Amino acid sequence: GESIAAARLLAAGFVVLTPSTPESYDMVATRGDQYHRIQVKCTRKTKPYRPGLPRYQFTIARRRPSYTKSDTDYVLLVALDIERCWLIPVEKITTPTVAINTASPSKWDAYSEAWHLLD
């Protein structure tokens, strides 16, 4: 997941930095004087939800509260089987999991491949 995320950020013209110590983010995307801390979450494939409505489910937090703006700026969700990414500002995520159904409109659609949010 992190490799796909880094490749997409590089393709969008960003330099990608990874911390050498444990941090609450996985990478930093930078271009010019802008720095964005990014936490990456991935899932391998869809999970059954309702008949005909599989969805990608991303676990954002397990044992700790969800991430906040003091932890990271964005959460980058990666669906590994289709190599699709959603770049979501951390303050938009208010639940411990994010479920995305790609077969129907979703509130997360605006964040699909939304690299422009980093400009």
The confidence band for 13, taking pLDDT boundaries of 50, 70 and 90, is very high
The residue behind tokens 């990666």 is: 78
pLDDT at 30: 97
What average pLDDT does the segment 10-18 reach? 96
44-80 confidence digits (pLDDT tens): 998 877 676 789 999 998 766 689 999 999 999 999 9
Residues 6+ apart with CB under 8 A from 54: 46, 47, 48, 101, 103
Q: Which two tokens stand for residue 49?
A: 């939800």
pLDDT at 64: 62
Among 73, 79, 70, 75, smallest CA distance to 103 is for: 79
pLDDT at 10: 96
96-119 confidence digits (pLDDT tens): 999 998 878 889 999 999 999 998
pLDDT at 65: 64
Q: What's the pTM value of the predicted model, to 2 decimals?
A: 0.91
pLDDT at 66: 80
Residues 6+ apart with CB under 8 A from 115: 8, 9, 12, 87
Query: What is the rounded distance in angstroms from the CA atom of residue 50 to the CA atom of residue 100?
Result: 13
Write the burial class of residue 90 (CB in 10 Å: 0-12 exposed, 13-18 middle, 19+ buried): buried
Structural contact between residues 58 and 42, judged by C-beta atoms closer than 8 angstroms: yes
